[in-house]
Structure 1
Amino acid sequence: MPVTEALRIIDEDDSGIDRAFRNDVLTGLAQRQKAVPARWFYDERGSELFEDITRLEEYYPTRAETEILSARGAEFAEAVGEGAAVVEFGSGSSAKTPLLLSAISPAAYVPIDISGDFLRASANALSEKFPGLPVCPVEADFTRRVTMPEAIAGLPRLGFFPGSTIGNLVPRTAVDMLREMRETLCDGAEHRARLLIGMDRVKDAAVLERAYDDEAGVTAAFNLNLLHRINRQLDGTIPVESFRHRAVWNDDIARIEMHLVATRDIAFTVCDRRFTIHRDETIHTENSHKYTRRSANALLLAGGWTPLRHWRDAQDRFMLILAEASEMRMAP
């Protein structure tokens, strides 16, 4: 079955610039602790680099999650049932998706991603693997409520959010996004929505830091690509060669932090606005929070989801959680 034309939900100005990208960059660079949200890593080149990261020896999350998806297919099928529309948030290359689709026999697949070219390429590739499955890509920012294609009207919906992307967000923002996902999946649906979400577990700091600062420098290139994207799309003059990648474990709040560190004093412009950054000052580009079972459950409940099942890999590095949209309550 052919892939439907991608539904595009991106707010651009007359020059084709994503308004949200521009606003986040200009606002973030003006802060005392400069920061740019991690979601802007994923232009086409950033998406390619991230796929390279997932194949690195040091980067265990993809292998651990793939192990769960490969080994627990029958359990997923029993828990989810057949005939659901699988809605994948931040689909990327959809590399792990076939494992889930093969297990549960869905009625449709809706990949959502902010990188349009990468989205369309991966949607076409997946359609070739599942020729009888309707594939309805949506180019959109999945951190906000997304309009679902008419093709899945009336179908039960299973959100799929693998890869521990939820860990990129501080708890307040993660809860907001989980609520937006609930609205996306429940809006107009006749069945109570479910969500299968990946979360990375707390573990030894040395293992975590190696996973985000690999010997080959692929993660460093991924981090620095954000500056190249700003220069290309927002008329930036950032001297990319004057920044280096840093990844550190923050034990107090259980997260890896990624920064771009200035190696000298720098002045540059973005969208004709001037910024300065001093030597050793940083642009904070990513958090990757790690969870225990309890902290994961608390986060989901705060976001409007009731955890139903937990699965872990053999080395207890990663977990997939199936949750159901909670009923709205007016009292504890």
Structure 2
Amino acid sequence: MMRRGEVLPEVNVAYEAWGNLSETHDNAVLVFTGLSPSAHACSSSEDPAPGWWEYMIGPGKPIDTNRFYVVCVNSLGSCFGSTSANSINPKTGKQYCSEFPELTIEDIAKAGHHAMQELDIEHLCAVIGASMGGMSSLAYALQYPDEVDHVVTISAACRSLPLAIAMRSLQREIVRCDPDWKNGCYEPDEEPKNGMVLARKLGLVSYRAAEEWNERFNRARIDPSRRSKDKFGIEFEVESYLDYNAHKFVENFDANSYLYLSRAMDLFDVAEHGGSVNAGLAKVHAKKTLVVGVDTDILFPIQQQEEIYNGIKNAGRNVEFERIASTKGHDAFLIDEELFSPIVRKFFAEIK
């Protein structure tokens, strides 16, 4: 049963795991991803390709797989192996497309919980996530308060503010306005790529801070040999960066998954778990919570991480807050290893 009342008769959750589960099954760490990553958070002997959080997870790393059994799940609704709009509806024998149930962050957390049960893990040592993954981690702690000892939420929020909602709403509208979207029933080789490219470019702008754009690109222009004859074609390096990275993303990510996961972030509201944000946060029973924010994040401003910290603190729970000064904005947790590693390493090292 989904949070909004609809039913998924069959659910698959793709995951990757590193380390060894202890005999008492008390060393499991669950990792939730942001909107776009797969479950491949770090490399392994089975898949040596670097993961999206390579510096954070592994032997001797901040989340030390010599100590912890680390499981990263691909979010419900994503296109990297978990049940999504591209999956076959067993009732019709066809893809769900836009008939896929309305998705929420709570559903993503619930799918992660089911995955843990399938792995015979009844109690988590810790749950961690950044961005949408931070929301999912918070939702996990709200729905299963007595089944997790430690919570780490990075660059996340209790609920999205109007700017973030407006940005994602516009991204979804751009995709849906692409004629190739076809109400979500497009063929695999006929995806709405033009809409997705534009939507992703808009998203990329919100993931970084203005200061970094200025420092990195200023008004640098591309080499004349790369310019087209189009009067409105790419002229500046920042345009080239957005174009390259948007096309790269679109080649690997599904449009319907983009829509559903984006909408789930807008719908999430801790206040729905108690009548107010503070009442909801009071339901987090973890032994200790770590809240991390970045001072230049425009998507989830630092005040939103302070709100999580203050709500849990006011409930009398053990919670730490770390404010990171970085020019990298929302995406800093993927880039600024030297700033994030010591904080996460210290937190996990203190877990007994």
Same fold (TM over 0.5): no
TM-score (norm 2): 0.29
